[in-house]
Amino acid sequence: MARVRASRERLQAERRLRLALDNARMGVVTLTEGADLVEIDGHFPPIADKALRGLRMGVEQFLQHLTADSQNKVHKLLEDGEDLHLLTRWRRMNGEERLGWMEVHAGYVVSEQAVVGVCRDVTREVEREEALRQAAVVFESAADAILILDPEGRVTTANPAFTRLTGWPNADIRGRHPNEFLHARRGSDRELLNGTPIDFLGHAEVVCLRHDGTSFPAWEHVAPVRDDSGNVTHRVLTFTDISALRMAESRVRHLAYHDPLTGLGNRNQLREVLANLPAAEPGDEAEWVLMFIDLDGFKVINDSLGHEVGDSLLVVVADRIRGVLRQGDQAIRLGGDEFVLLVHCAHDSDIEGLADRLLQVMQIPLDLVPGSSVQVSASIGVAVFMRDGDTADSLLRSADIAMYAAKTAGRNRFERYHPRMAEVANERLAIEQGLLQAMLNGELSLHWQPQVSLDGRRVVGAEALLRWTSVQLGQVGPDRFIPVAEESGIIRSLGTWVLRQSLATWAEWCRAGLVQGRLAINVSALQLQDDTFIDVLARELKEAGLQPQDLEIEVTETALQRVPQVEQRLTRIADLGIQIALDDFGTGYSSLSMLKLLPLNRLKVDRAFVHDVVTTPSDQAIVRAIAAMADALGLELIAEGVEEEDQRQWLANLGFKEAQGWLFAKAMSGVDFMRWLADRDGTPGHADQGGA
């Protein structure tokens, strides 16, 4: 019975041991002295995830599941009999990619004459400890400030970045709520911690206080910390200083709404201000007024003195505008030399007074270049909100139209918008847009006006004149579309078209024996300014097969004033053999000394002097002076606008040899010009009649 009871107790003890091993997920490893087998009972993770019973394997096979360092320690135990306590990596050898950590405690048991050890899988604990170590490094080295809070929101600890950022020592804040020392006393800065559930996860921009009382904007984040059961044990409060970000945003916004050169507002600011203009209230006499300012002559200064001087001029102009403005007025630079003022005026006299002051300050000379002063003027257009435009675009357009009217009326003045101005502007826009398509649509044509000897018996040449018949606008006169073409720059492409078409047509007529003499073509200032124009002249002459002396270009005094280095440019043209005539002579303001410097062949007396030359002594005196001057300089003369016989006779008596005008022939299409030549006794090339 004693043996039976002992056996039962042993079995019960073994059962309890196995249950303990299973519940603790531990395993027992036994290596009997003298044997080469290891017996495993319980859990041994390198072999399986379930409990094992009496598993036997070779010692070397067992050791292969451990790291090399751990294998050496086991061998030392087997050799020396010392106790073994180690934490080792384990791996499975059945091809499954699985690694873990195992804790082993073993020693030599003399009574059993065996090495007995226990092992336990501690992979989860090791990984958790590793995560804690990593979190500790992040906590200590993070650039963001971090506070660990208990469930009541009191500080338990803070990282070094918090102290660096706020100046608060850890000891001074432990046990205190962040709202007591960190957050500015505003509801929006305290709502993340007050009035929200403990498991709340969120972020917001707040204002934080440093230890010295200064404040700074911060981006703050709150997150709960949960245990294995999902209960919130702590909260983590992190924040970062966004002062630099807000300053950068402020600079970007400033650049987005201000002109970098002058510091005035820009077009974006103007649109925002105009979009938010309040409508006038009943009984309010004051009105919002938009003034559009464009500098007169700025391009000449910018081109001749350089862009650096031009920029300095714009800065001074902006300062002068600021000096005139009143509180509440807005000053905008649209770009280039265009400025806009938005002012609140109660009476028309206020508008006129402000515009007059602006015109006066603009004309004050500037010492931008050492040894010389620069002076500009301005043209100002005035438009009233709601009356002249009820949207930002319409108001700005009305002021722009009025400014253009002021510039057209003589510059250095202001004009108030009137609906009639819009009609003129719309016509100008229609002409400009129509010209862009005119060449493609075949709407342009050339007319020809003969140039004849003053006795009318010999045709010495013809002037090619551009005509435009628009599909939408009908017949558009040169006096309407040429100024628009010059202002918009379209005159360059028009001039090239006229040059190519007229040269080709004239060359064809010459080869057919229908005409002879010179072909006269008008050239604009913009064409002369183009550095490629001379090469274009030479190329087109060559392609048409004409001699340079067959071509005469006509330039006006006004054009000469606008062309830099005009003497050198005309000399290069003359060197090609092309003749040069000064058109509309006497109507410009150029210095007479230019006549002796320029390579001119002919002066064309303007029709304004020819019209009343028979009856007006002043016109007679001017024409006589021109004739005498041309004779002294060796220049030929031709009178334009001869329409009556007594005009022809008077000019002939003075010594004029050539003329053109309605007395002889109007400008005609190519077909009519050929018919006109044929009607001259049917012999275009007759010695007496001559040929065109």
What is the per-residue pLDDT across 117-172, written as a single tens digit (0 to 9) for each? 888 888 888 888 888 888 888 888 888 899 999 988 899 999 999 999 999 898 88
**What pTM value is reported for the model?**
0.55
- The predicted structure's pLDDT at residue 683: 41
Domain range summary for the chain, segments of one domain joined by +: 2-126, 142-246, 258-417, 461-600, 604-679
What is the per-residue pLDDT across 381-403, written as a single tens digit (0 to 9) for each? 999 988 888 888 888 989 999 99
Q: In what helix (H) or strand (E) does residue 242 lie, and over which residues does it extend?
A: none
- The first and second tokens of residue 633, run together, are 């300089």
What is the per-residue pLDDT across 250-305, written as a single tens digit (0 to 9) for each? 888 878 888 889 989 988 888 888 888 776 555 556 688 999 999 988 887 887 78
| Closest by Cα among 211, 106, 102 to 162 | 211
The residues pairing with 27 across neighbouring beta strands, listed in sequence order, are 42, 119
Q: In what helix (H) or strand (E) does residue 64 lie, and over which residues does it extend?
A: none
Q: In what helix (H) or strand (E) does residue 209 lie, and over which residues does it extend?
A: strand 202-209
| Closest by Cα among 291, 287, 274 to 393 | 274
- The predicted structure's pLDDT at residue 615: 93
The answer to whether 63 touches 36, Cβ cutoff 8 Å, is: no
Identify which of 46-50, 303-307, 476-480 has the greatest average pLDDT: 476-480
Whether residue 341 has pLDDT greater than 90: yes
The helix, strand and coil proportions of the chain, stated in percent and rounded to the nearest 5, come to: 45, 30, 30
Other beta carbons within 10 angstroms of residue 228's beta carbon come to 5
Contacts of 218 (CB under 8 A, 6+ apart): 205, 206, 207, 208, 239, 240, 241, 242
**What is the rounded CA–CA span in Å between residue 477 and residue 472?**
14
Query: Does the domain made of 258-417 have the CATH classification 3.40.50.150?
Result: no
For 2-126, CATH gives 3.30.450.20
| Closest by Cα among 427, 417, 371 to 394 | 417
For 142-246, CATH gives 3.30.450.20
**What is the rounded CA–CA span in Å between residue 25 and residue 118?**
11
What is the per-residue pLDDT across 29-46, written as a single tens digit (0 to 9) for each? 888 877 778 888 888 878
| Closest by Cα among 466, 291, 300 to 385 | 291
**Cβ burial, residue 293 (10 Å; 0-12/13-18/19+):** buried
In 651-667, which positions are buried (b, 16+ CB within 10 angstroms) versus exposed (e)?
A: beebebebbbbebbbeb
Would you place residue 589 in the very low, low, confident or very high pLDDT band (cuts 50, 70, 90)?
Answer: low
What is the per-residue pLDDT across 445-474, written as a single tens digit (0 to 9) for each? 999 999 999 987 899 999 999 999 988 888
What is the per-residue pLDDT across 506-547, written as a single tens digit (0 to 9) for each? 999 999 999 989 999 999 988 988 889 999 999 999 999 999
Q: CA–CA distance from 147 to each of 131, 173, 176, 197, 510 (Å)?
A: 19, 10, 11, 18, 97
* Residue at 195: amino acid letter: G
Average pLDDT over residues 678-683: 66
Which listed CATH number (2.60.40.10, 3.20.20.80, 1.10.10.10, 3.20.20.450) goes with 461-600?
3.20.20.450
Question: Order of strands across the sheet with 338-345?
Answer: 330-335, 338-345, 287-296, 377-384, 413-416
Would you place residue 108 in the very low, low, confident or very high pLDDT band (cuts 50, 70, 90)?
Answer: confident
Q: In what helix (H) or strand (E) does residue 414 lie, and over which residues does it extend?
A: strand 413-416
- The first and second tokens of residue 8, run together, are 């039962």
Whether residue 680 has pLDDT greater than 80: no
Report the share of the chain in percent with pLDDT over 90: 34
The answer to whether 624 touches 604, Cβ cutoff 8 Å, is: no
What would the DSSP string read from start to end of 348-380? HHHHHHHHHHHHHHHTS-EEEETTEEE--EEEE
Report the share of the chain in percent with pLDDT over 70: 92
For the chain, the average pLDDT equals: 85
| Closest by Cα among 547, 556, 560 to 640 | 556
- The predicted structure's pLDDT at residue 691: 36
**Cβ burial, residue 550 (10 Å; 0-12/13-18/19+):** buried
**What is the rounded CA–CA span in Å between residue 410 and residue 397?**
20
Is 258-417's fold the same as 461-600's? no
Average pLDDT over residues 191-211: 75
Whether residue 200 has pLDDT greater than 50: yes
- The first and second tokens of residue 325, run together, are 């403005």
Would you place residue 11 in the very low, low, confident or very high pLDDT band (cuts 50, 70, 90)?
Answer: confident
- The first and second tokens of residue 42, run together, are 């319980």
- The predicted structure's pLDDT at residue 578: 95
Radius of gyration of the chain (CA): 50
Q: End-to-end distance of the chain based on CA atoms, in angstroms? A: 155
Whether residue 650 has pLDDT greater than 90: yes
The residues pairing with 101 across neighbouring beta strands, listed in sequence order, are 89
Identify which of 176-190, 236-250, 483-497, 505-519 has the greatest average pLDDT: 505-519
Other beta carbons within 10 angstroms of residue 16's beta carbon come to 10
Q: In what helix (H) or strand (E) does residue 211 lie, and over which residues does it extend?
A: none
- The predicted structure's pLDDT at residue 692: 39
Compare 285 and 651 and report the one with higher pLDDT.
651
Would you place residue 56 in the very low, low, confident or very high pLDDT band (cuts 50, 70, 90)?
Answer: confident
Whether residue 591 has pLDDT greater than 60: no
Would you place residue 672 in the very low, low, confident or very high pLDDT band (cuts 50, 70, 90)?
Answer: very high
- The predicted structure's pLDDT at residue 57: 83
- The predicted structure's pLDDT at residue 16: 81
- The predicted structure's pLDDT at residue 96: 58
Contacts of 678 (CB under 8 A, 6+ apart): 684
**What is the rounded CA–CA span in Å between residue 533 and residue 569?**
10
Whether residue 375 has pLDDT greater than 90: no
**Orientation angle between helical segments 478-488 and 419-441, nearest 10 degrees:** 90
Compare 430 and 286 and report the one with higher pLDDT.
430
**What is the rounded CA–CA span in Å between residue 264 and residue 315?**
10
- The first and second tokens of residue 5, run together, are 């009871």
**What is the rounded CA–CA span in Å between residue 191 and residue 73?**
58
- The predicted structure's pLDDT at residue 687: 31
- The first and second tokens of residue 201, run together, are 């996860």
Compare 4 and 195 and report the one with higher pLDDT.
4
The answer to whether 249 touches 255, Cβ cutoff 8 Å, is: no
The two beta strands, 636-640 and 602-605, are parallel
The two beta strands, 366-369 and 459-470, are unpaired
